[in-house]
Structure 1
Amino acid sequence: MTNRQCFEALDRSFKDILSEKDNQLEAIPFGGKVVVLGGDPKQILPVIENASKAQIINASIFRSYLWKYVTKIYLHENMRLQKIKSNSLEYKELSDFNDWILRIGNGSEKINNISETKEDPDSNIVEIPQDLLLYTTRNKIKALVDSTYPDFLNNYSNLEYIKNRAILATTNDIVEEINNYMVDFIPNSEKEYFSADSTSKCMDAINDAHILYPTEYLNTLNANNFPAHRLKLKIGVPIMLLRNLNQSLGLCNGTRLIITNLADYIIEAVIITGTHIGDKVYIPRINLTTKGSHWPFVLCRHQFPIKICYSMTINKSQRQTLTNVGLYLKKPVFSHGQLYVAISRVNNKKGLKILIENNDGSCGNTTTNIVFREILEMV
């Protein structure tokens, strides 16, 4: 998901620094330093707001002048299967499940091998196996919670139970609805935190911005990967960091934690993912800025850089490995690799359940899959 400009900036920086002692290093990628890249082209590409397909592909490392210098090493062995006897039923089931995931990632899984439409050649309709589907005529969120978080009230404070489970959805509004639903079940007392919002005081800001955009209006604004104005938290609730605070302590963007104490100006939590699992840390309020595509100003928000994460977006789940995943497709995926990422978060077939909601509110068994084949051909 890293924009190619980041790699190119690093390349130029290395060349500038290292060529001071040896001019020949200015012509060598990264100034002669060995850089190891890891990734899967079937996964989500760099996120660019309101970008076209061409702009998204152009932002990927595969379009960079550096790509021709990359030595590609492919992984061919499935390490999960190596631990299972090849003649067992479990091996056959897991092998079939992994093959299905790869077909989704390659865009070769289709209903009756139907070709893509001329209107959108990157999109095709796939049928989900029946044993992975959830059906209900009642509350869809309740069905997902019961499946992904069974016996929740007796386990909501169990670190192992929480860290291995998540409900994935395509958009932030659906994620927020699920998180609010689950927080209400926790019997602990609730504490609210309100942000301090303002517009940036940069030189080109509008002089009357405080009149045109009052604080009450700024409080209503939300952005991707940005904390809400109002945070309703309880002890025992899992949260995810939205910014790098201290990488040496494991406090990085995407780190998941469980709240252990709530004070007025700081949150105490225990890390449940990454290399510092079990460490107790403290999260302060910080100043964050963001600029929406349609905002004529930069929003400044003083708030804890966190979001509740019983549920998370598919994009935010990348790099997570879980044992139980509930995938809620109230809205279909809308970008390359999203369906592949969602179904490949689990390490076993039994841990994946998918609920597809049709426009009429009924549960379905087909959904959209989007694959940019140009990306796969570049690798």
Structure 2
Amino acid sequence: MGKDKRAFPLSEIDEALDMANGASREIFKESMISVDHEHVALSDSLNVEQRVNYDEILAVVDSGEGGKDAYLNKLIDNIFLMLDANLADPNYITLRAILSTRNECVDTINMKMIGHLQWDEMEYYSFDRAKDDLHNYYPPEFLNSLTPNGLPPYVLKLKVNYPIILLRNIDPANGLCNRTRLIVWGFQRNAIDAEIVLGMHAGKRVFLPRIPLCPSDDEMFPFQFKRKQFPVGLALP
């Protein structure tokens, strides 16, 4: 279903050989390729609010001011308007998203967003070990630096009212399944007080325990890695 290549206005080709160095044909003239407005009409379909946000983001990008952090802060401010005031509203959370192709980018965005909030904060540290490592080949500092796909980080930073997502099936009969979305309401030493925000169990208050977790890919490391941590990740972007 592609476009015929003959329809593209390609640059002219020099049919002669370059006798000085024996190089083959080269493009000797650049042509100005006109914009096909049918293919770039996305901005024309925006509503008033989206248009304002779109123009503000482009203005920051075009100005070249502030670098990457400024662009990211501007993006967050425009997608999640009045974040502090609306974060506890499940509809506000589920109707907004920032898409990314890399988990590292998602983590960066979440850390930026959690820094925007003025709510109470808690940091939970995991207990990491390599099974059957009798000679301590893998020190704790090395194990703490690992964050395999599908596992929470060594330092899990949370704030009240921030949305989280469950990373394991804990109690499916009561709505605690892998990918369940919740809102944090409070912290205890060995439990997180949260509320399910989507699905048939929406509104149910639950307490999430700290549990032992292993990577889904057993061959990811030359040892069996185990992390005891709350099985949740930050869920806004």
CA-based RMSD of the aligned residues comes to 2.3
Residues 1:179 and 2:110 are matched in the alignment: yes
Cα drift, residue 113 of structure 1? 5.9
Partners of 1:129 and 1:227 in 2: how far apart? 37
Q: Where do 1:1-379 residues align within 5 Å?
A: 108=1, 129-131=42-44, 135=58, 136-137=60-61, 139-201=70-132, 207-208=134-135, 210=136, 212-290=137-215, 291=217, 293-311=219-237
Cα drift, residue 242 of structure 1? 0.4
**Relative contact order, higher structure (CA 8 A, sep 6+):** 1
Cα drift, residue 158 of structure 1? 2.3
Cα drift, residue 149 of structure 1? 1.1
Distance 1:292 1:173, change over 3 A: farther
Equivalent residues of 1:255, 1:273 under 8 A apart:
yes
Once the two structures are superposed, residues 103-156 of structure 1 have per-residue CA deviations (whole angstroms, 9 ceiling, x without a partner) of xxxxx5x6x5669xxxxxxxxxx8682346653425232232223211212212
Partners of 2:161 and 2:85 in 1: how far apart? 12
Distance 1:160 1:294, change over 3 A: closer
Q: Alignment partner of 1:167: what SS?
A: coil
Partners of 1:185 and 1:292 in 2: how far apart? 37
Partners of 1:261 and 1:195 in 2: how far apart? 19
Cα drift, residue 294 of structure 1? 4.8
- TM-score normalised by length of structure 1: 0.46
Distance 1:292 1:217, change over 3 A: farther
Distance 1:157 1:198, change over 3 A: same
Equivalent residues of 1:191, 1:262 under 8 A apart:
yes
Where does residue 20 of structure 2 map in the other structure? none
Q: Identity of aligned pairs, percent?
A: 35
Q: Alignment partner of 2:116: what SS?
A: coil
Q: Which amino acid aligns with 1:129?
A: L
Partners of 1:154 and 1:306 in 2: how far apart? 23
What is the count of residue pairs matched by the alignment?
186
Which is greater in Rg? Answer: 2
Partners of 1:278 and 1:308 in 2: how far apart? 19
Equivalent residues of 1:227, 1:303 under 8 A apart:
yes
- TM-score normalised by length of structure 2: 0.71
Equivalent residues of 1:223, 1:292 under 8 A apart:
no
Q: Alignment partner of 1:165: what SS?
A: coil
Cα drift, residue 190 of structure 1? 1.3
Partners of 1:218 and 1:114 in 2: how far apart? 52
Q: Which amino acid aligns with 2:235?
A: C
Greater helix content: 1
Equivalent residues of 1:239, 1:308 under 8 A apart:
yes
Partners of 2:205 and 2:140 in 1: how far apart? 35
Partners of 1:293 and 1:228 in 2: how far apart? 19
Distance 1:114 1:236, change over 3 A: farther
Partners of 1:113 and 1:184 in 2: how far apart? 49
Q: Alignment partner of 2:129: what SS?
A: strand
Once the two structures are superposed, residues 22-46 of structure 1 have per-residue CA deviations (whole angstroms, 9 ceiling, x without a partner) of xxxxxxxxxxxxxxxxxxxxxxxxx
